[in-house]
Amino acid sequence: MNPDAENTPHIIVSDLTMAYGDFVIQRDLNFTIYRNDIFIIMGGSGCGKSTLLRHMIGLQRPAKGQIYYGDINFWQADAAERSRVMKKCGILYQKGALWSSMSLAENVALPLEEYTDLPDRDIKEIVSLKLALVGLAGYEDFYPSEISGGMQKRAGLARAMALDPDILFFDEPSAGLDPVSAKRLDDLILQLRDSLGTTVVVVTHELASIFAIGNNSVFLDGATRTMIAQGDPHKLLAETDDPKVKEFLTRGEAASLESLAE
């Protein structure tokens, strides 16, 4: 929201190592997410993208290394401080993760009820605005089980946006969506960034989305268990020498072209 704030680091990940017990998933991750970035965490299936996200949103403690939100050292801070940081974050989970016992309106309203003193009438207004923003106007009283997967995801986004967060996290936003809905979601993400100045972090392996919205990224490699590239995905595509990154960003077509040429 503050235009001067552009190009200041928003989230810094330094020397992060993630592990389940002795099993290291990714090590030595170092990258910086700037304000207003749409930052893509990409990599093949099972390389630890979603796990990285879980570390960033406080669900899993790093085996080693730090994550900074501004100048707050997230995992060194106490629980109260962490929850203050998280209050400024909205998260869209892979399957929406709507609370199944509550209607869509109640889902979106819960964060507002928890963290604001707004009267019920205002909350209702905000809820219907947020649902309208994701194209679900009129679905207030539906329960998550009564709507389609794509709609659940959009409702999840409405909930993630409820408190006008500084940072929005998306876990595989286009997984399970048809191409048109996926495109709409991408457009929505761009608009949110442009109009609200939100920093966006997206875990995805959807190439179309990566190039449509991303302006910064990190590439995690499952085999070497660390990051092997970072930067603007367009530049990566043009400049990278790493065959794995190239293969990923071209759907392996570059590799097959080369092999044909040989």
The widest CA-to-CA distance across the chain, in whole angstroms, is: 70
Q: Per CB under 8 A, does 99 bind another protein?
A: yes
* β pairing state of 72-73 and 64-69: antiparallel
Q: Residue 195 CB, nearest distance to another protein (Å)?
A: 23
Q: Using CA atoms of 91, 94, 98, 99 in order, give the dihedral in degrees to the nearest 10.
A: -100
Q: Per CB under 8 A, does 89 bind another protein?
A: yes
Q: Per CB under 8 A, does 20 bind another protein?
A: no
Q: Per CB under 8 A, does 95 bind another protein?
A: yes
Q: Per CB under 8 A, does 203 bind another protein?
A: no
Three-state SS at 182: helix
Which letter does DSSP use for residue 93 in this model? -
Show the tokens assigned to 202: 């997206």
| Cα 76 to Cα 67: distance, rounded to the nearest angstrom | 9
Q: Which of 172, 141, 175 is nearest to 155 (CA)?
A: 141
Choose, by CB under 8 A, the member of 76, 83, 224, 256 that binds another protein.
83
Choose, by CB under 8 A, the member of 39, 69, 74, 93 that binds another protein.
93
Q: Per CB under 8 A, does 210 bind another protein?
A: no
Q: Residue 204 CB, nearest distance to another protein (Å)?
A: 17
Q: Per CB under 8 A, does 88 bind another protein?
A: no
Element (H, E) at 210: helix 207-213
CA distance between the termini of the chain: 52
C-beta of 20 vs 179, nearer to another protein: 20
Q: Residue 93 CB, nearest distance to another protein (Å)?
A: 4
Which listed range, 37-45, 67-75, 94-102, 210-218, lies at the site for another protein (CB under 8 A)? 94-102
Q: Per CB under 8 A, does 114 bind another protein?
A: yes
Q: Using CA atoms of 136, 164, 5, 53 in order, give the dihedral in degrees to the nearest 10.
A: -80
- CA geometry: angle at 94 spanning 91 and 170, to 5°? 40
Which listed range, 57-65, 131-139, 201-209, 235-243, lies at the site for another protein (CB under 8 A)? 57-65
Element (H, E) at 234: helix 233-239
Choose, by CB under 8 A, the member of 91, 161, 188, 203 that binds another protein.
91
Q: Per CB under 8 A, does 100 bind another protein?
A: yes
Cβ(92)–Cβ(171) under 8 Å? yes
Q: Per CB under 8 A, does 118 bind another protein?
A: no
C-beta of 28 vs 115, nearer to another protein: 115
Q: Applying CB under 8 A, which residues contact another protein?
A: 54, 57-59, 83, 86-87, 89, 91, 93-95, 97-101, 110-111, 114-115, 159
